[in-house]
Amino acid sequence: MTLRVTKRKTTKNMMPAVEKLAGVDLSECYQCKKCACGCPVSGHTEAPPSEIIRRLQLGAGDDILNSDIIWTCSSCETCHARCPMGIDMAAVMDALRILAVKRHAPTPKGDIPTFNRAFLKTVNIFGRTYDLAMIAAYKLRTATVMKDMHKLPAMLKKRKIAVLPPRGADKKTVKRIFDSIGRKKGIRQ
Ligand code: SF4
Ligand code: SF4
């Protein structure tokens, strides 16, 4: 029997693009793993944050954009606070999310990008998060309008969800921030 070993095709090294977007120098990471030890989600993902950096250092291509931690990272900044080299891992995750959306990478964790977009859209429009609009936008985009609807009356009764849009937000300033970041990073909201 002949065993054929073929060299795996790799795409372009992603590290420079991530470093540019995140404003970090990933070569400074020396794999102490303090970030991974403090990360609240790394135990539920395939690869902890330190491994993502190591893979980037080793020349990972587009396949790194399929990593589930990109979408489970809560941007809590614990890793950044613990890192002896001051590497802003939350910014790295943001950069990977932007690249994943731009390159239409598959998302391992359901509809998290759709949820993110629905959340940001409502903040952009109302100046603050507006749960009811966000849920409606998410459900329409994922065709899950009736799912969990039985929970709505109880949530409204307990005031877990506000019926009316938030008041008092500085909409103009928030919109200006969105526009400015969108222009800078080439994102369409
Ligand atoms: S804490 Fe910083 S230096 Fe240590 S592994 Fe994580 S990113 Fe690298
Ligand atoms: S910012 Fe993301 S990667 Fe860093 S500790 Fe928090 S959840 Fe983990």
Q: Dump the DSSP string for 55-91.
A: HHHTT--GGGGG-THHHH-----HHHHH-TT---HHH
User: How many C-beta atoms surround the C-beta of residue 109 within 10 A?
Assistant: 14
Rounded distance from Cα 75 to ligand 2 centre (Å):
5
- For 183, other C-beta atoms within 10 Å of its C-beta total 9
Q: Write the CB contacts of 116 (distance below 8 Å, at least 6 apart in sequence).
A: 97
Residue nearest to ligand 1 atom 2, measured at CA = 83
Residue nearest to atom 3 of ligand 1 (CA): 29
Is-contact 186 180, C-beta < 8 A? Answer: no
pLDDT of the residue at 161: 86
Identify the nearest ligand to the CA of 89 by its number.
2
Q: Average pLDDT for residues 41-47, to the nearest whole number?
A: 89
Residue 50 has a pLDDT of 95
Output the pLDDT for position 11: 66
Choosing from 19, 26, 55, 87 the residue with most ligand 1 atoms within 8 A of its CB, the one to mutate for a pocket test is 87
Q: Is the CB of 93 under 6 A from ligand 2?
A: yes
Q: DSSP secondary-structure letter at 137?
A: H
Q: Region 84-94: what's the mean pLDDT?
A: 95
In this structure, are residues 63 and 11 in contact, taking their beta carbons and an 8 Å threshold? yes
For residue 25, report the distance from its CA to the centre of ligand 2, in Å.
18
- Specify the pLDDT at position 169: 84
User: Residue whose CA is closest, atom 7 of ligand 2?
Assistant: 73
Percent of the chain at pLDDT > 90 equals: 38
pLDDT value of position 89: 94
Q: Which ligand 2 atom minimizes the distance to the CA of 82? A: 5
Regarding the beta carbon of 56 and ligand 2, being less than 6 Å apart is answered no
Please state the pTM of the whole predicted model: 0.73
Residues with Cβ within 6 A of ligand 1? 29-35, 50, 53, 82-85, 87, 89
Residue to substitute in 24, 34, 44, 77 for testing ligand 2 pocket (most ligand atoms within 8 angstroms of CB): 77
